[in-house]
Amino acid sequence: MTNQSLPNPPIRRIVTGHDEAQNAIVTMDGPATNHKWPPDGMNVSTLIWYADQMPAEIWSSEDFGERVVDRQPVSRGTRICVIDFLPGGPGMMHRTDTVDYVICLSGEIDMELDEDELVHMKEGDVMVQQGTNHSWINRGTETARLGFVLMDAKKKPGLGQTSPAPSSPHEKMGAPPSPAIRRIVTTHDNSGKGIVGEDAFASNHKWSGRGMVATLIWSSDECPAEIWTGEDFGARLIGTQPPENGARFTINDYPAAMPGRMHRTDTLDIIFCLKGEIDMELDNGAEVHLNKGDVLVQQGTNHSWWNRGKETCRLGIILIDAKTGNLPITA
């Protein structure tokens, strides 16, 4: 990419919604086009979706991916974007009062914290950033693509912008996902400096009867999110519907030849296809085939996942509590 060039490859964005009879439909399916460049042109941010309240609005016909937005979401808001970082781009220290769910979609990149602590991320790694001061530096030879979900979080006095007790983990029911999911969590030391609190393979798994395994990365049970406690919110019990005003970040592995099951939740779902291919079927029979790199915005629609391929498909899924409609939850 050159200065103010478009993301390459283009980012396919699928958005689901409802028709007048409240049947699930695909409302948009095409390249995301709302791009933003910094002055140096060394990265391009593509807005996928935006929520300006919690619970999120999922019953409007507005394309929230066409908003003009800042880096920091509004109070009780959420911003979903994909950012391409060019090789050789200089890092810039910055922070927002947000909890950030980050997925490395392709390439490799370094994240640097206050005291020169560095984390190297590769394709498939996931990170939970808890309002820490950081910069992104691509020291490689290829563009690095990251998916971001930024959720408004509690503010801490003295740091500007530039809960229930944890539950016991799930009992083991099957083999863990392969490859293992590297999870990085940032936090703060006693002086307020950004540090890496954890860098290890995620271990909180839940298995379905159809062979799907969900791995919890992080969760929140309020908005603004809590980012100043020492609790590991990735050790919570995994439910399908996040708590009221909450969110849930999981990595789901769908085995080959896995049959679908219709279900829905009152949530705004942001879904990244990390590897493999999968079909999403709606209740009117419409299907969307997702390939690696595609991004889906699901607005509380009834749907099922079918892996008709020969390899496991891995999806990164962020569920955000949304306004309740007149449809039942069938999780």
Give mean pLDDT, residues 5-14. Answer: 90
What local confidence, expressed as pLDDT, does residue 166 receive?
34
Domains in the chain, start-ordered, CATH in brackets?
A: 12-34+44-158+174-321 (2.60.120.10)
- State the Cα–Cα distance between residues 213 and 174, nearest whole angstrom: 8
For the chain, what is the mean pLDDT? 89
- State the Cα–Cα distance between residues 207 and 93, nearest whole angstrom: 39
What Rg, from alpha-carbon coordinates, does the chain have? 19
Pairing verdict, β 12-18 and 295-299: parallel
- pLDDT above 90: residue 125: yes
What local confidence, expressed as pLDDT, does residue 161 receive?
52
Strand order in the sheet with 108-113: 118-122, 108-113, 134-137
Position 174 confidence tier, pLDDT thresholds 50, 70, 90: low
Beta bridge partners of 263: 303
- State the Cα–Cα distance between residues 299 and 283, nearest whole angstrom: 14
Give mean pLDDT, residues 233-255. Answer: 89
Planar angle of CA 91, 184, 117, nearest 5 degrees: 45
**Residue among 203, 317, 178, 307 nearest 255 (CA):** 307
Q: What is the amino acid identity at position 67?
A: R
pLDDT tens by residue, 287-330: 999 999 999 999 999 999 999 999 999 999 999 999 987 666 66
Position 101 confidence tier, pLDDT thresholds 50, 70, 90: very high
Give mean pLDDT, residues 106-135. Answer: 94
pLDDT tens by residue, 256-277: 988 888 998 999 999 999 999 9
- pLDDT above 50: residue 53: yes
- pLDDT above 70: residue 77: yes
Position 59 confidence tier, pLDDT thresholds 50, 70, 90: very high
Share of the chain above pLDDT 70, in %: 91
Label residue 322 exposed, middle or buried (CB < 10 Å: 0-12, 13-18, 19+). buried
Q: Would you say 263 and 331 are in contact if contact means Cβ atoms under 8 Å apart?
A: yes
pTM: 0.75
Position 70 confidence tier, pLDDT thresholds 50, 70, 90: confident
pLDDT tens by residue, 177-192: 889 999 999 999 999 9
Position 168 confidence tier, pLDDT thresholds 50, 70, 90: very low
Give mean pLDDT, residues 155-183. Answer: 62
What local confidence, expressed as pLDDT, does residue 30 receive?
97
pLDDT tens by residue, 205-230: 988 877 899 999 999 999 999 999 88
- pLDDT above 80: residue 167: no
Give mean pLDDT, residues 38-48. Answer: 85
What local confidence, expressed as pLDDT, does residue 2 receive?
46
Planar angle of CA 168, 329, 170, nearest 5 degrees: 15
What local confidence, expressed as pLDDT, does residue 91 receive?
82
Task: Give me 331's structure tokens.
Answer: 């999780």
What local confidence, expressed as pLDDT, does residue 7 receive?
86
Sign of CA dihedral 290, 293, 297, 298: positive
- State the Cα–Cα distance between residues 151 and 81, nearest whole angstrom: 12
What local confidence, expressed as pLDDT, does residue 42 receive?
81
- State the Cα–Cα distance between residues 60 and 323, nearest whole angstrom: 11
Q: Which residue has the higher pLDDT, 81 or 244?
A: 81
What local confidence, expressed as pLDDT, does residue 243 receive?
84
